[in-house]
Structure formats: C-alpha cells, structure tokens
C-alpha cells in the first residue's frame, strides 16, 4: 500500500557553512518543538562545508519522526542567498521559517507563531528574539503594539529573515535573495515582504528565536557583519533595498503610499542604527571616512537628502557627518548617535 504523504505545517529551512560546532544545538531545538516533529519538514542547504557539518546534520534524520528531512549540498557561494532560494523552491510546508545554523529556536516558537498566523490569517509573523552575546533585533515598542498591526516604522528595526512566512505568499513576491549580496541580503527581501504582506502579526509572549554572535572557530566563518569588506561591497545591499521601494512606489495605491513612508523610515533606521554600527567597526579613521563617503553618495542617489524633514534628529546628525572627510569626526558622531535614546530621536 502506498504511504499517504501529509503536508507539513511548517518547513524549517536551515542554511549552514562550517557549522559543526552549532548545528547540533540548532537541530535539537527543532526536534524539541512543542508543535511536534511530525508536523515539521526540515530542509538543510550546506554551502560547501569542509568540517563535520554534513555528517552531523544527516545524523538528525533518525532523531525524530519528522514529516520530511532533507540535506542538500552545494559548492561554496560565500553567502546564504542561494541556499535560501533553494529552500523556498523546495519547501512543502504551509509555512516557512528560515534558520541560520548557529542560532536556535525556543521550544514553543513554531506552535505559537503558526497559531498566530492561522488565527489572524497572516502572511508574516514576527516572533520575539533573544540575543545571545549580542543585542536582540526586536521591533521597538513591540510590547505596545497590538498583535496584528498595519505598517509601523518599528518593523524596519527587525529586518532579519528569521520569521514565519506563508509559503505561497513568499513565492508570489517578485524579489528573491540576491546571490551577489554577501552582506545584509535579508534587508531587501524583508522590505518586499513587509510591503506586500496582507497582515503581519507579532508573538511577544514566547521566546521564539535565539540569535547568536558566534565566536570564530576552526574553519568557521565568524559573523558576516564583522568581516572586512570594501565600502562598495558592504553597502551594495542598499541598491536592492531602494530598488524594491522604487518598484513598489510605481504600483500605485496603498502599496505606493506605504513604500513612500518606508523609504524615509528606512533612512532613519540606516542613519540612526545601521551605518553608525558599521562605522564603529572600522579599524581606523581612514576606513571610516571611506565608508562615510560611499554612504553619502548613496544618500544623495536614494533620497535621504530630500527626506530631511522626516529624519529623526540623530539620523539628520549622522547624515550631515557623512558629508565630511573627517574620519575621527564621523566616528565620534556615530558613537554619539548610537548611544542616544531611541525614543528621543523619533521625528
């Protein structure tokens, strides 16, 4: 008798590279979900690991009664984009959750998030993050937001891809992860998702995703946000981000209105949070000045200067500093902006 295949409720898509030190913890957290492994499909795409990552991943196939469990290997690309695209193409679950192999889930994460998605008929569910040796990228003021909310600028403080999505919704998006982006390749994808989602809900009552800052280990990649990159490469993701917003503004209607608001809000996020962080990670004033010059050029191209009236005070201060060639002044401004209270800097 042919075995009847029951569609998984959730596909958990894991991308890995030389993750032998952490992938066991990651997959164990999936196996221990209160939702039950029999309702979970696990897809692992390994980006050409040279350590024991694949062997460890394959051992987990027998660890629980998974709905499905598949390990895929590819030649090294240097980023998670190709793997995430493969997961999106292959997933059979009604919902899809992307996971990095050095992170892990809270035990009630998938149960709570799928319940929210079904109750509110949501395309995207944002679960509560817990930072491990790093800050947690939670939506500012999320504790004050209702469980379901129309567009809110705080969403842009949580542009990590580790959220629950309705799979059919993602497949209808015009944007896919760009393999040319080795840094922040989740930003344009999340902008597209937030722009086009019919409903977004938040799960704040459960610790959903433990996001780590993995220490470097033998053969391991360390954290991509701390890798040495040229200003052009480090800021390349912004071309995709503002391209997504420009296309949405051309659609007209509510999507265009939200895209217009989102462009200004995204510049606030970049200038108040992201660019100061990148500047402060530079090893000397010359490197900081080079990044500042590249960012100033993009600010001119993509409308930060024409959105001055909607910039928070800290963001406006950072924008002004970008246009100087003084690396020391840029670093000091970045430090001051990062340390200022978020609530005081809202426009």
Average pLDDT over residues 318-341: 91
pLDDT at position 221 is 45
Contact predicate 77/181, CB 8 Å: no
Average pLDDT over residues 162-171: 97
pLDDT at position 218 is 36
**pLDDT, averaged across the chain:** 89
pLDDT at 4 over 60: no
pLDDT, tens digit, 9 for 90 and up, residues 292-305: 999 999 999 999 98
Tokens of 52: 């024991």
pLDDT at position 75 is 95
pLDDT, tens digit, 9 for 90 and up, residues 171-195: 999 899 999 999 999 999 999 999 9
Burial label for 31, CB within 10 Å (0-12, 13-18, 19+), is: middle
Q: Of 36, 32, 54, whose CA–CA distance to 45 is shortest?
A: 54
pLDDT at position 309 is 78
The answer to which of 18-27, 100-109, 222-231 has the lowest mean pLDDT is 222-231
Per-residue confidence at 229, pLDDT binned at 50, 70, 90? Answer: confident
Tokens of 231: 């200003």
Tokens of 335: 């430090």
pLDDT, tens digit, 9 for 90 and up, residues 232-287: 999 999 999 999 999 999 988 989 999 999 999 999 999 999 999 999 999 899 99
pLDDT at position 153 is 85
Residue 15's DSSP bridge partners are 45, 100
Residue 73's DSSP bridge partners are 46
pLDDT at position 154 is 83
pLDDT at position 288 is 94
pLDDT at 219 over 60: no
Residue 70's DSSP bridge partners are 43
Tokens of 144: 């004050």
Q: Of 280, 279, 269, whose CA–CA distance to 315 is shortest?
A: 269
DSSP secondary structure of 17-58: SS-TTTHHHHHHHHHT-TT-GGGEEEEEEE----SSHHHHHH
Q: Of 256, 281, 267, 279, whose CA–CA distance to 314 is shortest?
A: 267
Tokens of 86: 């493969």
pLDDT at 144 over 80: no
pLDDT at position 285 is 93
pLDDT at position 151 is 84
pLDDT at 341 over 70: no
Q: Of 50, 54, 53, 60, whose CA–CA distance to 27 is shortest?
A: 60
Average pLDDT over residues 118-123: 92
pLDDT at position 185 is 94
Which position has the higher pLDDT, 265 or 222?
A: 265
Tokens of 51: 């350590």
Average pLDDT over residues 117-143: 83
Q: Of 341, 292, 290, whose CA–CA distance to 312 is shortest?
A: 341
The answer to which of 12-21, 26-35, 96-105, 319-328 has the lowest mean pLDDT is 319-328
pLDDT above 70 as % of the chain: 89
Per-residue confidence at 145, pLDDT binned at 50, 70, 90? Answer: low
Contact predicate 109/33, CB 8 Å: yes
Per-residue confidence at 344, pLDDT binned at 50, 70, 90? Answer: very low
Q: Of 336, 241, 346, whose CA–CA distance to 298 is shortest?
A: 241
Block residue for tokens 């108040």:
272
Tell me if the pTM is above 0.85.
Answer: yes
pLDDT at position 149 is 64
pLDDT at position 1 is 42
Per-residue confidence at 133, pLDDT binned at 50, 70, 90? Answer: confident
Q: Indicate the DSSP class of residue 126.
A: E
User: Can you tell me whether residue 152 is helix, strand or coil?
Assistant: coil
Per-residue confidence at 135, pLDDT binned at 50, 70, 90? Answer: confident
Which stretches of the chain are DSSP H helices?
23-31, 53-59, 81-90, 109-120, 167-172, 186-196, 231-234, 237-249, 253-269, 275-280, 285-301, 313-322, 327-339
Burial label for 120, CB within 10 Å (0-12, 13-18, 19+), is: middle
Alpha-carbon dihedral of residues 322, 327, 329, 332, nearest 10 degrees? Answer: 100
């Amino acid at each position: 008798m042919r075995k009847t295949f029951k569609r998984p409720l959730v596909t958990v898509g894991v991308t890995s590279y030389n993750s032998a030190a952490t992938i066991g913890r990651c997959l164990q957290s999936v196996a221990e979900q209160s939702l039950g492994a029999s309702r979970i499909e696990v897809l692992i795409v390994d980006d050409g690991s040279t350590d024991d990552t694949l062997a460890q991943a394959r051992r987990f196939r027998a660890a629980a009664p998974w709905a499905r469990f598949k390990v895929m290997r590819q030649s090294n690309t240097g980023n998670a984009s190709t793997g995430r695209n493969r997961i999106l193409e292959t997933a059979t679950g009604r919902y899809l959750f992307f996971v990095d192999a050095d992170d892990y889930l809270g035990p009630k994460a998938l149960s709570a998030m799928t319940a929210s998605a079904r109750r509110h008929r949501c395309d995207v569910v944002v679960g509560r993050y817990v930072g491990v040796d790093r800050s947690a990228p939670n939506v500012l003021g999320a504790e004050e937001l209702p469980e379901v909310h129309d567009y809110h600028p705080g969403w842009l403080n949580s542009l990590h891809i580790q959220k629950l999505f309705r799979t059919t919704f993602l497949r209808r998006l015009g944007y896919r992860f760009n393999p040319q982006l080795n840094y922040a390749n989740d930003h344009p994808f999340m902008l597209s998702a937030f722009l086009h989602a019919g409903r977004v809900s938040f799960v704040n009552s459960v610790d959903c995703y433990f996001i780590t800052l993995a220490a470097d280990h033998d053969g391991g990649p360390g954290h991509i946000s701390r890798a040495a990159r040229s200003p052009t490469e480090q800021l390349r993701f912004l071309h995709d981000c503002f391209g997504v917003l420009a296309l949405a503004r051309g659609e007209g209607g509510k999507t265009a209105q939200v895209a217009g608001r989102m462009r200004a809000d995204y510049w606030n996020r970049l200038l108040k949070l992201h660019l100061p962080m990148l500047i402060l990670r530079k090893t000397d004033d010359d490197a900081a000045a080079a990044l500042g010059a590249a960012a100033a050029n993009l600010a001119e191209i993509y409308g930060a200067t024409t959105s001055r009236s909607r910039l928070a005070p800290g963001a406006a201060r950072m924008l002004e500093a970008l246009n100087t060639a003084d690396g020391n002044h840029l670093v000091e401004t970045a430090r001051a902006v990062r340390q200022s209270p978020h609530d005081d800097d809202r426009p």
